[in-house]
A and B are shown apart, each in its own frame.
Chain A
Amino acid sequence: MIEFERVSRRFGDLDALRHLNLKIDQGEMAFITGHSGAGKSTLLRLLLLLDRPSSGEIRVKGELTSAIRSHRVPRYRRRFGVVFQDHRLLFDRSVHDNVALPLVIAGFSPRESARRVRAALDKVGLLAQESVNPATLSGGEQQRVGIARAVVARPEFLIADEPTGNLDPQLSSEIMALFEAFNQVGVTVLVATHDLSLISQFRHRIVTLSSGRLASAETP
């Protein structure tokens, strides 16, 4: 469970988030939407401790994130799988090595790591591309490699920031369906997106932010 309690984040005079109260249940899948600048990315950055709130508290499974000391932050972040809009793949290594990165960090044996990488690539339908350089893949394929990297270490939470920003509607639906599949096996999924027509195809809670405030949190 993720709880935001009166969370504010100010950048100078600008309120990126204002007194946000939000609760994401364990195993839930939710969309966070709103115009650009509404605070979607700020919300995700705060959750990943890439930024700290100006006021308010964030709890993850009851644990106050403000109480996490800086040397514990990397371990905390490993509980999250993160998918970026520009997928942030590393073009100096193969698809396999990109996906394996979280496992290298977590300290898996090479054998177990290889097994998991192949399983994750299989899930996103890219097992055949294991040894190619991700630069040779299409945008949709690159994003799927990014998703494989996010889930390979079996995180508790999957966080995606505009994961379909650069993809056509057909590919976008496929990507969302992938997230849904992970959600169905118990991963809590949080997707920030401004693509309302896309998320209307799915029956999940939509949290709408407007100028850093919670505008609505409707459950279909």
Chain B
Amino acid sequence: MNSPTGQPAERWTRSAVWRAQHRIAANDSWRKLLHRPVATGLVWLVVAISLALPSALLLTVANLRPIVPDLARSAQLSVMLDREADRASAEAVQGQIENWSQIDAVRLVSREQALSEFGEQTGLATLLASLDRNPLPHTLRVLPRLPAHDSALNHLIGELESLPNVTRVVADTRWMSRLEETLVAGERWVLALGGAMILGAILALANTLHLAIDARREEILVVRVIGGSPAFVRRPFLYTGLYFGVGGGVLAALMLWALSLWLTGPVNALFLLYDSPGQLQGPGLVYPLALILLGAIIGWLVSWAAAEHYFRQLETR
């Protein structure tokens, strides 16, 4: 005890000290968490749900997105011809527009065909047969090459309507725009909900970490007096926050995987029923990794902020 010196003899290099102190803090914090498994599990669950729910919704939107172009392709136009126009003039119109650049395909549905299809679909065949003349005109089914919501479609409709022998062009594209807008609104709703959920997770974490810090108040005060730096005091809590965040992220990833496994069967069956070649797009690797990273970042930042706030209160007391 006779060398009152500030520079002790056998000291490690700075980086070795830093690593050792990190290892000690990391192990201590981990042990403390395992010491209270129920409380720790609950925090993980809160973080996991807050992360899993918005990402599940995001995944839903991501699954819906690729279906929309498929639906858009079915947005065909029905070009009704003049009831007096005969089949030859119908074919003339077909030949005229077939080569337009905005048009993908044109199919002629003759009035006879249309009548029998209508009869089959409605079961009114006998009734229709009793009519003395076919009330239906020849129709051209036009598949446009444009996106359904594009204003170019309206332009195309205008051009088609100005053709001779064309009475009316029917295009039910409004539902397409509606679907599109619904998806955009849905996405925003998911983002807002996700933000709120994550904010909730942050607040829950902040509160938990504040309690964890407060539980070690005595230790903090002692360490401060005997020369522990703020970084040293903060370190175990940063690890606690990190473990909460990463644990929550891992649990959220598992939840997402479980959910998608559970849904794969029925959703793929649904795709099949709608003749869509699509399949349920699972969380893959990107979602779990993003969840764990997000959890880690949130846990680390929140514990940093909670510790800073606590120590500032301590200093000003």
Contact = CB atoms under 8 A, between A and B. Distances in A.
B270 interface: no
A154 B1 contact: yes
Given A107-B20, A108-B11, A109-B12, A154 B226 contact: no
B102 interface: no
B12 A101 contact: no
A154 B4 contact: yes
Contacts of A105: 223, 226-229, 232
A56 B8 CA distance: 32
A156 B227 CA distance: 13
A106 B2 CA distance: 18
Given A107-B21, A109-B10, A101 B222 contact: yes
Interface size class of A (residues with CB under 8 A): 35 or more
Contact of A78 (B12, B17, B218, B226): B226
A153 B8 contact: yes
Given A105-B228, A151-B1, A154-B1, A88 B12 contact: no
Contacts, number: 92
Interface in B93-118: none
A74 interface: yes
A104 B21 contact: yes
A156 B14 CA distance: 22
A59 interface: no
A162 to B, nearest CB: 15
A120 B21 CA distance: 22
A154 B11 contact: no
Size band of the B side of the interface? 20 to 34
B278 to A, nearest CB: 56
Interface string A129-148: 00000000000000000000
Given A88-B221, A154-B1, A186-B2, A104 B227 contact: no
Contacts of A153: 8
Interface in B6-47: 6, 8-12, 14, 17, 20-21, 24
Interface in B218-245: 218-219, 221-230, 232
Contacts of B10: 108-109, 111-112
B216 to A, nearest CB: 8
A154 B4 CA distance: 5
B313 interface: no
B130 interface: no
Contacts of A88: 218, 221-222
B228 A182 contact: no
Contacts of B6: 78-79, 156
Contacts of A156: 4-6
Contacts of B218: 88, 90
B5 A154 contact: yes
Contacts of A151: 1
Nearest to A26: B4
Contacts of A123: 1
Contacts of A186: 2, 4
Nearest to A103: B8
Nearest to B4: A156
A75 interface: yes
Given A88-B221, A108-B11, A185 B1 contact: yes
B45 to A, nearest CB: 26
A187 to B, nearest CB: 5
A201 to B, nearest CB: 23
Given A75-B227, A77-B225, A108 B1 contact: no
A82 interface: yes
Interface string A90-121: 10100000000110111111111000000110
Nearest to A188: B4
A101 B4 contact: no
B151 interface: no
Contacts of A111: 10
B3 interface: yes
A155 B225 CA distance: 13
A108 B8 contact: yes
A14 interface: no
Nearest to B229: A74
A108 B12 contact: yes
Given A107-B21, A112-B9, A154-B1, 14 more contacts: A48-B225, A74-B229, A77-B226, A78-B226, A90-B222, A92-B219, A102-B226, A107-B11, A108-B10, A151-B1, A156-B4, A156-B5, A185-B1, A185-B2
Interface of B: 1-6, 8-12, 14, 17, 20-21, 24, 218-219, 221-230, 232
Interface of A: 48, 50, 71, 74-82, 88, 90, 92, 101-102, 104-112, 119-120, 123, 149-151, 153-156, 182, 185-188
7 contacts: A75-B229, A88-B221, A106-B227, A107-B14, A109-B11, A156-B4, A187-B1
Report the 3 A-B pairs with minimum CB-CB distance, sorted nearest first. Answer: A107-B17, A78-B227, A77-B227
